[in-house]
Amino acid sequence: MTLHSENAGVSRHASARTQQRGIPPLILDWLIAYGEEQPDHHGARVVYFTKRSRQRIGKDVGDIIVRRLHEFLDTYAVIASDGCVITCGHRFKKIYKH
Protein backbone atom coordinates (compact mmCIF):
# COMPACT_ATOMS: atom_id res chain seq x y z
CA MET A 1 0.00 0.00 0.00
CA THR A 2 1.55 3.30 -1.05
CA LEU A 3 -0.83 5.78 0.44
CA HIS A 4 1.70 8.52 1.11
CA SER A 5 3.50 8.45 -2.21
CA GLU A 6 0.22 8.91 -4.09
CA ASN A 7 -0.57 11.79 -1.72
CA ALA A 8 -4.16 10.54 -1.50
CA GLY A 9 -5.45 10.36 2.03
CA VAL A 10 -2.66 12.41 3.61
CA SER A 11 -3.54 15.86 4.88
CA ARG A 12 -1.34 18.86 4.15
CA HIS A 13 -0.60 19.03 7.86
CA ALA A 14 0.60 15.41 7.87
CA SER A 15 2.75 15.99 4.78
CA ALA A 16 4.35 19.00 6.42
CA ARG A 17 4.97 17.09 9.67
CA THR A 18 6.58 14.12 7.92
CA GLN A 19 8.94 16.49 6.17
CA GLN A 20 9.70 18.57 9.30
CA ARG A 21 10.28 15.48 11.43
CA GLY A 22 12.36 13.64 8.85
CA ILE A 23 9.99 10.70 8.47
CA PRO A 24 10.45 8.98 5.08
CA PRO A 25 7.29 8.20 3.07
CA LEU A 26 8.20 4.49 3.25
CA ILE A 27 7.80 4.54 7.04
CA LEU A 28 4.33 6.05 6.75
CA ASP A 29 3.42 3.35 4.24
CA TRP A 30 4.72 0.69 6.64
CA LEU A 31 2.72 2.20 9.50
CA ILE A 32 -0.47 1.91 7.50
CA ALA A 33 0.32 -1.61 6.27
CA TYR A 34 1.85 -3.17 9.41
CA GLY A 35 1.13 -0.91 12.40
CA GLU A 36 -0.99 -1.73 15.43
CA GLU A 37 -3.97 0.52 16.11
CA GLN A 38 -5.48 2.11 19.20
CA PRO A 39 -8.44 4.50 19.30
CA ASP A 40 -7.53 8.02 20.37
CA HIS A 41 -10.98 8.51 21.99
CA HIS A 42 -11.68 11.49 19.70
CA GLY A 43 -12.93 9.54 16.68
CA ALA A 44 -9.53 8.81 15.13
CA ARG A 45 -7.00 6.04 15.66
CA VAL A 46 -3.31 6.02 16.48
CA VAL A 47 -1.16 3.62 14.46
CA TYR A 48 2.30 2.65 15.72
CA PHE A 49 4.92 -0.07 15.46
CA THR A 50 5.13 -2.90 17.99
CA LYS A 51 7.56 -5.77 18.27
CA ARG A 52 5.11 -7.96 16.36
CA SER A 53 4.66 -5.44 13.55
CA ARG A 54 8.44 -5.03 13.24
CA GLN A 55 8.77 -8.81 12.93
CA ARG A 56 6.15 -8.85 10.14
CA ILE A 57 8.06 -6.13 8.28
CA GLY A 58 11.26 -8.14 8.73
CA LYS A 59 9.64 -11.21 7.19
CA ASP A 60 8.45 -9.22 4.17
CA VAL A 61 11.45 -6.95 3.47
CA GLY A 62 14.28 -8.53 5.44
CA ASP A 63 15.74 -8.08 8.90
CA ILE A 64 18.74 -6.14 7.60
CA ILE A 65 16.52 -3.38 6.23
CA VAL A 66 14.55 -3.22 9.48
CA ARG A 67 17.80 -2.91 11.48
CA ARG A 68 19.06 -0.12 9.23
CA LEU A 69 15.81 1.80 9.55
CA HIS A 70 15.30 1.13 13.28
CA GLU A 71 15.59 4.83 14.14
CA PHE A 72 12.34 5.47 12.24
CA LEU A 73 10.38 2.64 13.84
CA ASP A 74 9.40 4.76 16.84
CA THR A 75 6.98 6.65 14.59
CA TYR A 76 3.22 6.99 15.01
CA ALA A 77 0.44 8.34 12.82
CA VAL A 78 -3.04 9.59 13.65
CA ILE A 79 -5.64 8.50 11.10
CA ALA A 80 -9.13 10.00 10.88
CA SER A 81 -12.24 7.86 10.59
CA ASP A 82 -12.31 8.49 6.82
CA GLY A 83 -8.81 7.00 6.45
CA CYS A 84 -6.97 10.30 5.98
CA VAL A 85 -3.64 10.60 7.83
CA ILE A 86 -3.97 13.67 10.08
CA THR A 87 -0.49 13.87 11.58
CA CYS A 88 2.54 11.81 12.48
CA GLY A 89 5.54 12.03 14.73
CA HIS A 90 8.08 10.20 16.85
CA ARG A 91 6.96 8.34 19.97
CA PHE A 92 8.75 9.24 23.16
CA LYS A 93 6.57 7.24 25.53
CA LYS A 94 4.66 3.98 25.50
CA ILE A 95 1.15 3.85 24.05
CA TYR A 96 -1.08 2.07 26.54
CA LYS A 97 -3.85 -0.17 25.29
CA HIS A 98 -7.31 0.67 26.65
What's the pTM? 0.79
Q: Could you give the CA distance from residue 75 to residue 49 in angstroms, rounded to a whole number?
A: 7
Q: Could you give the CA distance from residue 36 to residue 11 in angstroms, rounded to a whole number?
A: 21
Residue boundaries of the structural domains of the chain: 3-89
- Using one digit for the tens of pLDDT, what is the confidence trace for 30-76? 999 999 999 988 889 999 999 999 999 999 999 999 999 988 899 99
Q: What is the pLDDT of residue 44?
A: 92
